[in-house]
Amino acid sequence: MPKRTDIKKILIIGSGPIIIGQACEFDYSGTQACKALREEGYQIVLVNSNPATIMTDPEIADATYVEPLTPEVLEKVIARERPQALLPTLGGQTALNLAVALVERDVLNKYAVELIGAKYEAIKKAEDRQLFKESMRKIGLEVPESYYIRSMSEAMGAYEKIGLPAIIRPSFTLGGTGSNIARTPEEFKEYVEHGLDMSPVCEVLIERSIIGWKEFELEVMRDLRDNVVIICTIENLDPMGVHTGDSITVAPAQTLTDREYQVMRDAAIKVIREIGVETGGSNIQFAIHPKTGEMLAIEMNPRVSRSSALASKATGFPIAKIAAKLAVGYTLDEIPNDITRYTPASFEPAIDYCVVKVPRFDFEKFPGADQRLTTQMKSVGEVMAIGRTFKEALGKALRSMEIDRPGLVEVLPSVPNAEEIRAFLRQKLQVPSWEGIWYIAEGLRYDLTVEELYKLTHVDPWFLNNVKEIVDMEDGLRLEGIMVGARCNVPLLKEAKAYGLSDARIAQLTGTTEESVRSLRHKDNLRPVYKRVDTCAAEFETYTPYLYSTYEQECEARPTDRPKVVILGSGPNRIGQGIEFDYCCVHAVMALREMGYETIMVNCNPETVSTDYDTSDRLYFEPLTLEDTLEIIHLEKPQGVIVQLGGQTPLKLAVPLEKEGIKVLGTSPDSIDRAEDRERFAELLRKVGLKQPDNGCARSMKEAITVAERLGYPVLVRPSYVLGGRAMRVAFDEKSLRDYVQKATEVSPKHPVLIDKFLEDAVEIDVDAVADGQHEVFVGGIMEHIEAAGIHSGDSSCALPPYSLPRETVEEIERQTQVLALELQVLGLINIQYAIKDGEVYVLEVNPRASRTVPFVSKAIGIPLAKVATKIIMGKTLRELVGATGRSPLPYTAVKEAVLPFIKFPGVDTILGPEMKSTGEVMGLDKDFSRAYAKSQMGADGLLPLSGTVFISVRDRDKPGAALLAKTLHKMGLMLMATRGTASLISKEGIPVQEVRKVFEGSPNVMDYLKKGEIHLVINTTEGNISEKDSFPIRRTALIHHIPYFTTLSGARAAARAIESMLKGQVEVRPLQEYYQRKNSVVSSQ
């Protein structure tokens, strides 16, 4: 069917900030969709609050709104843009929920906007569990027995029928938020209560447990002519009971016969038809009883999903792109397969390799979090690996994880008593955990049988036997070594490599070094070959070089002899290393392509835009280890490698790559070292005459106390061997310093503790700049943090331009940035963190590389810094790249707000500190700081109240400030409630305040008011362990009830300003393109 011509303008909603369960896969799918539809001549209006996305680059859509994703804001966008259609299936659950809200508020009707892709009824049928269940029964499919309850007494009724264990699932939450498995009556009650709290409609589904069943997923596509194809099958290694986002998954399905698979395929087709998803992709999950084969339909997502991103990368079939084209009327047979070019998209990809996805967790950032894997997703990222066998793909995936485990390494302490170990393992194996696969390997090493392991884990014996083969291979290597006399046992080494063992792992097993394994391999020319992902198992010739390594006979890489550059990607998402770096890498690719270079991308994160085979000229879906990158470089022979844009992952490889004689493009590894090495850095600052906070280094507890006393409390302490704020802490007195040194770190002469004078109440500043190595520095953005120093920069909100600094200070920061960048001969990007205390500027940290804030700054100022940096690296000058308009002051303000994952971790405190915890960010953009800040809060799901009651409870140091703040809030018409100490101070100022009991002072206390919805904003600052513990329930309850809360006074002050501005006038929306225009016109009128 031809494309629709009655539609001219289409609205696409993005997925907003990165959160657990909704990551950059939606940037990948949304970007694909925007491009595909613009190719067809449609105008695209895009709304997404997340600035760190490629989709919000101004070139991707015709009008790009970086605005909060709320129904009110969307209505404003619709009123302003008047699109004819809304495509809601590409922005995850967020976009789908918003589409539902817009229908229910009659907005779409009012403005005559048609929902395309999935209609309202279809979304409802798929999302509402009761409707879904009825639909499944109607088409003859079974679903787990379940009851839908709205109160505890109804829940007890369901309990009688289903028994334990039971699954508790709140309706309409993201990524399974609030879902739990209850194994005891106590758990049952607790989880039901939690679920009722979590569900926006106060509904919970109680379901028969099918824990231990086999879990499968099918990625299905349908067009308007009712053609349906299955793009990919996925089998979960972890059985039912573990959220698929937290499971190791494998494509294609491994343990189904064709007969069984076809039954499932038929069912999937029936499901998509019955639910009524007209066009596009859906993900359908099934459970299979391992002994009887009974099949149950579990759920369906009527939209592209994390799994569909995975399926796209696993097969080479671009689901989102095709879904977009189907939504405007094309049929599958009318769309060509990009990879084969002449066969159509109406086929089912044939895979001739095995794909393994492994989730990445970051529990160490959330002390106290329940680490058991359940039906609620907890992982923060994932890696994917491709191999010709499961064993090979698993090995590659595990070494891609960035957790210093080069494979199925030993994870048990070597205890002499094997029986004790077995008992320990049995206990560990029964509870699904992120380390499950390693414990399985350990179990096999300690002679647990596959049968016993199956009973403990319900992981299918097929997987267990494969792991056993790896363990046996490892045992063989450990026993025999890889040498026969003076010569290498080449067949054994080759087999080990084909089993997915890394050089580093082989070295561990054979008592040698990674380097010597590598040189042995190279001496015998034992190198990987590269095969293509081609959608068709080699049946047709293909043109798109999307490659993976394996140890086999034939190499299909066919490298070109064009001038080329390798860009190392950012690896799995985790806290502190997210979409921002992928954004920078993608920009580097674009810049290099503009300059005529062939671009070669290496990455292992399937969620990303960088691993779209469309992004670069050649894509190597490979682990980002030294071994794997060296092999690619050996084959491709690029002019150099760019490592400064992908964050920690590639940066770590800079020095080792340079040692191997490979050209690292941009700032030299020596300059990086000068900025990172503590002593060299201090010397650097002395040389250029800049200040840093007083500091010292301690190798024992005694030394630590001496240093701290010399500096004066409070001090900032951290171990010397971890980067990025991990395990960092502010100590306010000797006791807390002792606590920290004893508990949190292992202090020794080898592992000293670093101690800095902590600049209390200092203003923290982040600067991103680009320098050309010798002459010029372009300061892209100076960001003023709203939270005072001491909170990780990734977790604080910040404003660009600064909102409170005097002009001289800003100029001084600019000057210091110039000095540092030139002294370090920075070629490319540099990020500097400063603290301003009493008008004095201190340098906290210098990172001569891309920072997390590069996308935010780029988007705010309308200049793509990573692109500029890349071109500088390749020899262009700043003068050529950034004109006068680029350097002009901003006639508006951008505020970045961090988005935190606490809701997924019951029992974890929400207090911020020097260790980063946020998963994502949003940007608020408006004419002044107050409005921009208001939008940033709205975007981060913290819609500030314009009336109602503010609860204030602050630590002593903050009390004077709190009183002032209370005055402001009172003036704006808000009511106040406070605990005794704070209340007496406020009433002393003559402001009416309701005194309320603390949590442990008996009822009714603050918690009761929170739960009743009588508090609309919480301001709660604490100091010291006891008060943190006391106020913990307040913060958790506020979080669960979506009541905005501030744990710093500076944040609360900004909130007050934002409320004030919102009271003055309604929120207005404006696309980026207009902001940029205004900025440029300011310059030209000068």
Instruction: State the pairing for strand pair 777-785/763-772.
Output: antiparallel
Residue 677 is a binding residue for another protein (CB under 8 A):
no
State how far the Cα of 825 lies from the Cα of 47, in Å rounded to an integer: 39
Minimum CB separation of residue 1037 from another protein in Å reads 47
* Strand order through the sheet with 695-698: 695-698, 753-757, 715-719, 729-731
The answer to whether residue 489 forms part of the interface with another protein (CB under 8 A) is no
Report the residue from 151, 184, 262, 427 that binds another protein according to the rule CB under 8 A.
262
Report the C-alpha gap between 127 and 276 in whole angstroms.
Answer: 12
Span 322-341, contacts to another protein by CB under 8 A? 331-333
Nearer to another protein, 40 or 260 (CB): 260
Spatial distance between the Cα atoms of 168 and 178, rounded to a whole number of angstroms: 8
Task: Compare residues 84 and 233 and give the one whose CB is closer to another protein.
Answer: 233
Pick the piece of the chain touching another protein (CB under 8 A) from 82-90, 259-267, 420-428, 1015-1023: 259-267
Which pair of structure tokens corresponds to residue 966? 């209370």
Q: Of residues 261, 363, 446, 1076, which one binds another protein by CB under 8 A?
A: 261
Smallest distance from the beta carbon of 444 to another protein, in angstroms?
13
Measured at the CA of 991, the angle between CA 988 and CA 994, to 5 degrees, comes to 95
Decide if residue 462 touches another protein (CB under 8 A).
yes
What are the beta bridge partners of residue 600?
Answer: 566, 618
Q: Say if CB 28 and CB 608 are below 8 A apart.
A: yes
Residues from 352 through 391 that contact another protein (CB under 8 A): 352-354, 388-390
Of 440 and 865, nearer to another protein (C-beta) is 440
Judged by CB under 8 A, the residue of 43, 255, 968, 1027 near another protein is 255
* Minimum gap (Å) between residue 1065 Cβ and another protein: 54
| Parallel/antiparallel/unpaired status of strands 715-719 and 729-731 | antiparallel
Q: Which of 148, 347, 363, 732 binds another protein (CB under 8 A)?
A: 347
Cβ partners under 8 Å of residue 358, min gap 6? 248, 382, 383, 385, 394, 397, 398, 400, 401, 437
688 three-class SS: helix
**What is the β-pairing status of strands 9-13 and 920-926?**
unpaired
Out of 67, 215, 460, 627, which residue is the one contacting another protein (CB under 8 A)?
A: 460
Cβ of residue 463: shortest distance to another protein, in angstroms? 8
DSSP 3-state of 1058: helix
Identity of the residue, 235 or 958, whose beta carbon is nearer to another protein in the bound complex: 235
Residue 497 interacting with another protein (CB under 8 A): no
Confirm or reject binding of residue 351 to another protein (CB under 8 A).
yes
Q: Which two tokens stand for residue 341?
A: 């070019």
- Pairwise CA distance, residues 689 & 686, whole Å: 5
In angstroms, give the least distance from the CB of 538 to another protein. 4
142 binds another protein (CB under 8 A): no
Nearer to another protein, 350 or 946 (CB): 350
By CB under 8 A, residue 266 contacts another protein: yes
Contact between residue 971 and residue 964 where contact means Cβ atoms under 8 Å apart? no
Distance (Å, rounded) from C-alpha 106 to C-alpha 127? 20
Judged by CB, which is closer to another protein: 142, or 260? Answer: 260
Q: Would you count residue 256 as binding another protein (CB under 8 A)? A: yes
| Rg of the chain over all Cα atoms, to the nearest angstrom | 29
Residues 83-112 that bind another protein (CB under 8 A): none
Sign of the dihedral defined by the CA atoms of residues 214, 219, 222, 226, in that order? negative
The residue among 337, 326, 288 whose CA lies nearest residue 304 is 326
Which CB, 332 or 813, lies closer to another protein?
332
Closest CB to another protein among residues 226, 677? 226
Can residue 442 be called a binding residue for another protein (CB under 8 A)?
Answer: no
Cβ atoms of 998 and 1005 closer than 8 Å: yes
Three-class SS of residue 53? coil
Q: Which window, 191-199, 224-232, 570-578, 1074-1082, contacts another protein (CB under 8 A)?
A: 224-232
Tokens of 46: 């895009």
Q: How far apart are CA 300 and CA 135, in angstroms?
A: 11
- The least distance separating another protein from the CB of residue 448, rounded to whole angstroms, comes to 16
Q: Check binding of 293 to another protein (CB under 8 A).
A: yes
Nearer residue to another protein within complex by CB, 121 or 541: 541
CA gap 1000, 86 in Å, rounded? 50
Which residues does residue 46 pair with via DSSP β-bridges, in sequence order? 12, 64
Picking from 66, 266, 62, the residue whose alpha carbon sits closest to that of residue 892 is 66
Complex with another protein: residue 331 or 608, whichever CB lies closer: 331
User: Is residue 941 a contact point for another protein (CB under 8 A)?
Assistant: no
Beta strands in 204-279 (DSSP E): 204-208, 214-222, 228-236, 249-251
Phi-psi region of 415 (alpha: psi -120 to 50; beta: other; left: phi over 0): beta
Binds another protein by CB under 8 A, chosen from 554, 561, 808, 838: 554
Among residues 49 and 542, whose Cβ is nearest to another protein? 542
690 to 749, contacts with another protein by CB under 8 A? none
Candidates 349-357, 479-487, 623-631, 975-983; binding stretch for another protein (CB under 8 A): 349-357
**Strand runs labelled E in 533-669:** 546-550, 564-568, 598-603, 618-621, 640-642, 664-665
| Chosen residue from 163, 185, 200, 344 binding another protein by CB under 8 A | 344
Site track 519-548 with another protein (rule: CB under 8 A), x = hit: ------------x----xxxxxx-------
Q: Residue 44 corresponds to which amino acid?
A: I
Q: Is 201 in the site for another protein (CB under 8 A)?
A: no
Q: Which is nearer to another protein, 542 or 603 (CB)?
A: 542
Closest CA to 932 of 19, 15, 51: 51
**Number of shown-chain residues binding another protein (CB under 8 A):** 57
Least distance between another protein and beta carbon 322 (Å): 14
Tokens of 923: 């940007």
Shortest CB 259 distance to another protein, Å: 6
The 386-425 contact track toward another protein, x by CB under 8 A, reads --xxx-----------------------------------
Q: How many C-beta neighbours within 10 Å does residue 681 have?
A: 18
Assess 968 for contact with another protein (CB under 8 A): no
Q: How far apart are CA 546 and CA 621, in angstroms?
A: 7
- CB of 267: closest distance to another protein in angstroms? 11
Q: Are 832 and 814 in contact (CB under 8 A)?
A: no
Q: How far is the CB of 466 from another protein (least distance, A)?
A: 8
- 259 is a contact residue toward another protein (CB under 8 A): yes
From 286-294, 570-578, 954-962, 976-984, give the range in contact with another protein by CB under 8 A.
286-294
Tell me how far, at minimum, the Cβ of 440 lies from another protein, in Å: 15
Residues within the interface to another protein (CB under 8 A): 225-227, 229-230, 233, 252-262, 265-266, 289-293, 331-333, 343-344, 346-354, 388-390, 450, 460-462, 465, 531, 536-541, 552-554, 556
